[in-house]
Structure 1
Amino acid sequence: MNKSFKKFKSIEFENQWIKINPAQTLTLGFLGLIFVGTLLLMLPFSTKDRHYLSFIDALFEATSAVCVTGLVVVDTHTTFTMFGQIVIMVLIQIGGLGFMTVGILIALFLGKNIGLKGRLMIQESLNQLSLEGMVRLVKFVVGFTLLLELIGAVVLSFRWISDFGFPKALFYGLFHSVSAFNNAGFDLMGGFSSMTGYVGDVTVILTLSSLLIIGGIGYTVILDLVKKKSLKKLSLHSKLVLLITLILNVLATIIILILEYDNPGTLGSLALKDKILGAYFHGVVPRTAGFNSLNTADMTLSSQFVTMLLMFIGGGSGGTAGGIKVTTFVIIVLAVWTLIRGRDEVNVMGRRLPNDLVFRAFSITVYSTALVFFILFILTITEDAPLNVLLFEVISAFGTVGMSLGLTPELSPAGKVLISFMMFIGRVGPLTIAFALARATKKQPFKYVEEKIMIG
């Protein structure tokens, strides 16, 4: 069965008028979902003042929700009615799960058989290496997601009853649990303060951070953990994602704690416990979600730089996080280390990584870096803001993080469109976009004569 699947892996869907591959379908599906979300958020009963949200603002908000980013040009709490907030929450949920996952789930409920087309779509959507067990994976993804979000909603609701009362606490718990697990970073706390009022709250900080870490490592790793139930038996992918995630979270926490320890605008005035919680939360969220318990604009330039680096790296493949992904980052590091040692094979944990995987990791990194600087260059023309603020905004959008130094609400219409484009690229994936736009390619029947050039 697996061989037959591989045989059809490169197949294109076609009818009388159109040929479309899985990457193109995935791209068009996200665009369609964004368009529907834009129209819903423009409805007069979506906003509290009953006025139409402008198309550009509605497009930005819908893109941010579908691409699980969290950057906002209007405050979610004060601008949108409960209907508008529910629309945003549903867009986050569908965007986080992937519209193909939701579509396949609906088809299963209706008793439909999932054919090769559907399985190819799931494979592309969840970034899987094999077509085996795609339907089973969809069931697991949806079930696990809903279970974790329910647990998070219950914990947060009980914590917020004393602050907001039962009905409001229940909705707030559900909204923030969905937002956290899907690494969206949208919040209903009012203003653009996010979780700064809960910097020392153990329940809120640990619940949100646990949800976003689990959602950010990727469904493949989660399923591997559930099946194997032993760290030693995990696949190389799962081991690397878990190890690098742990290392980055610990290092980021320590670095932020050191850099911000005496900063009066962030950790300086807090007790030691609150300093540690604040540093931990800020060390975790840049690679996944846009919540923040510290005022990012008041952080030192060094901390902002570290934050940008973490946002660019992102989370695990096949999950809800953006960025180039931790596995891409570790392959780049290993490849450079291999070259320094004078070896020609990249080895890790007793396994050899194929050369085409290393080449793809470098391609993703170069492509992403070029895209970030290209959009940054255009923003220097359209926006009146310091370079570090613009760069922070672009990387945050690309990494679907949602953190900002305060620029987002002040963006020009052109800037909003550019940042929306970056959020879309960051969610769907640079290579998916490239494959979606590329024509079907054939292997060259010949090779050119090899000749070396000088580098370095």
Structure 2
Amino acid sequence: MRNWHPRSTIASYQRMRRNGVFQASPPAVLAGGFLLLILIGTVLLSLPISQREPFSVLSAFFTATSAVTITGLTVIDVSQSLTHFGQIVLALLVQIGGLGFVTLAVVAALTLGRRISLKQQALVLEAFNQTSVVKVRRAAFAVFRISITIQLAGALILFLWWLQDKAWLTALYHALFYAGIAFNQAGFSLNADNLMPYAGSPVILLTISSLIILGGIGFTVLSEVWQKRRWSHFSVYTRAIIIATLCLNLFGFVMIFLLESGNPGTLGPMSWDMRLLNAWMQAITTRTAGFNSVDTAQLTDSTALLMMALMFIGGGSLSTASGIKVGTFIVLLAAVRSYLLHREEIVLMKRSISPEIVRKSLALLLVTTFSAFMGIFLMTLLEDAPFLDIAFEVISALSTTGLSRDLTMNLSQPSQFLLTVLMFVGRIGPLTLIYSLATQRRSRVRYPESHFQVG
């Protein structure tokens, strides 16, 4: 490896000025960009103009990280501790973090007519699930059009509903805030009890749950549905994601309804129609959104474990959701099915899946699982709290969901810092892993096979 020298940095900068190509690795750009945005958010949230009730710089840093990584965990009461200015800063951080620096960087580069380096193209193609930069151009701008259209439509419905009992300016403020937060899967609320005050409002819960689904299914899927509009014309990926999303949502809905209907702390006291509504809301929000219309601390252990599994899976690729992603989950299921049926090829909807995609999915699963294990292990050393609450908190942070069993505000400072690392890793880690796999060097050396026992 060559030794670093200042002249090499100067030369790289001069080449960038001359050629319009940025030479830094995409993971470094992404991580640096997110970190810079978190620091800017920390400074803004630390200003007196942002604080209705004073809180520490660490709390501001935690909240900014949670916003940029579109998580929603918070150690402060957003409704009481932040002024309107602070809440607007929070919402803007969520918007930028939700759309992602990959999208923003590509759109900026294309708009300015800059060329994208080959390494950056590899990351961009992976992130947008496309095969050419021309298609990436369309997908990048479609992200903004789709995002703005859906959020404005949701905000309009919420505004008209809240206009019944709120002043028009307050109704508009709440509508824009919740539409943006829901679509970007963040889970912040202008109420101390999150969405629990609206547990009896079908319009609010169904609108917010619809925004969560549309934001979490993936811009690639939304764009293809809008353009082709016929099931037979959809790609295998789009059809698989739609079916899997529907199955996961329905499974979560039915299970939460059955498990919590007899729980006096959650769905028990509600009427049958309200039980169905709130079971649906909790099933949808668990897919990395972080809202809660019932008290999550009162959930049964079985429901908590189910929600952890749904959080771990997350949403679709190129979406505002996180987790290992639905596509990864589908590929792993297809691989297991092929192995059990003794098939050479891994087949999905009469199409084969390449071994490289399977390896990538397996690597993402193992890295995320290891990160979750280490996070849980470290927090058990730091906190004297029930194990299930700790595991729930760690999975929620790593999957950038934002649900909590009333543990976040009671954590020590080391644990709060650990959660910020997990949120950051959960948002940046998968992209970095995908880049490393997409740009790995292939060796020409081949070694003889060895029999190795597993299982």
Normalization by structure 2: what TM-score? 0.91
**Could you tell me how far 1:345 is from its partner in structure 2?**
1.4
Gaps of 5+ in 1: 1-12
Corresponding residue of 1:45:
49
1:223 maps to a residue whose letter is S
- Residue by residue over 1:7-33, the C-alpha shift from the partner in whole angstroms, topping out at 9 and shown as x without a partner, is xxxxxx954699522222112111111
Work out the percentage of aligned pairs sharing the same amino acid.
38
Corresponding position: 1:84 with 2:86? yes
Corresponding position: 1:455 with 2:454? yes
**Could you tell me how far 1:199 is from its partner in structure 2?**
1.7
Corresponding position: 1:22 with 2:26? yes
Select 2:177's aligned residue among 175, 178, 189: 175
Counterpart Cα distance in 2 of 1:357 and 1:104? 24
Residues 125 and 78 of structure 1: is their aligned pair in 2 closer, same or farther, counting only changes over 3 Å? Answer: farther
Corresponding residue of 1:271:
271
SS at match of 1:20: coil
Residues 146-157 of structure 1: pairs in structure 2 closer than 5 A? 146-157=148-159
SS at match of 1:267: coil
SS at match of 2:286: helix
Corresponding residue of 2:71:
69
Root mean square deviation, CA, Å:
2.2
Counterpart Cα distance in 2 of 1:303 and 1:383? 23
Deviates more, 1:273-282 or 1:440-449: 440-449
Residue 199 of structure 2 contacts residue 205 of structure 2 at CA under 8 Å; is this kept in 1? yes
Corresponding residue of 2:403:
403
Counterpart Cα distance in 1 of 2:145 and 2:280? 29
SS at match of 2:267: coil
Corresponding residue of 1:6:
none
Corresponding residue of 1:327:
327
Corresponding residue of 2:4:
none
Residue 287 of structure 1 contacts residue 399 of structure 1 at CA under 8 Å; is this kept in 2? no
Corresponding residue of 1:442:
441
Counterpart Cα distance in 2 of 1:306 and 1:197? 24
Corresponding residue of 1:162:
164
1:283 maps to a residue whose letter is A
Gaps of 5+ in 2: 1-10, 16-21
Corresponding residue of 1:298:
298
1:455 maps to a residue whose letter is V
SS at match of 1:72: coil
Residue 253 of structure 2 contacts residue 280 of structure 2 at CA under 8 Å; is this kept in 1? yes
Residues 253-402 of structure 1: pairs in structure 2 closer than 5 A? 253-402=253-402
1:273 maps to a residue whose letter is D
1:264 maps to a residue whose letter is P
Residues 28 and 177 of structure 1: is their aligned pair in 2 closer, same or farther, counting only changes over 3 Å? Answer: same
Counterpart Cα distance in 2 of 1:198 and 1:60? 27
**Could you tell me how far 1:271 is from its partner in structure 2?**
0.8
Normalization by structure 1: what TM-score? 0.91
Residues 58 and 424 of structure 1: is their aligned pair in 2 closer, same or farther, counting only changes over 3 Å? Answer: same
Corresponding residue of 2:6:
none
Counterpart Cα distance in 1 of 2:133 and 2:109? 18
Residue 70 of structure 1 contacts residue 401 of structure 1 at CA under 8 Å; is this kept in 2? yes
- Residue by residue over 1:49-99, the C-alpha shift from the partner in whole angstroms, topping out at 9 and shown as x without a partner, is 3x4x32211111011111111111101110001110000010011111113
- Residue by residue over 1:377-413, the C-alpha shift from the partner in whole angstroms, topping out at 9 and shown as x without a partner, is 1111111211110100011011111100011111111
Counterpart Cα distance in 1 of 2:85 and 2:123? 31
Corresponding pairs, count: 437
SS at match of 1:224: helix
2:42 maps to a residue whose letter is T
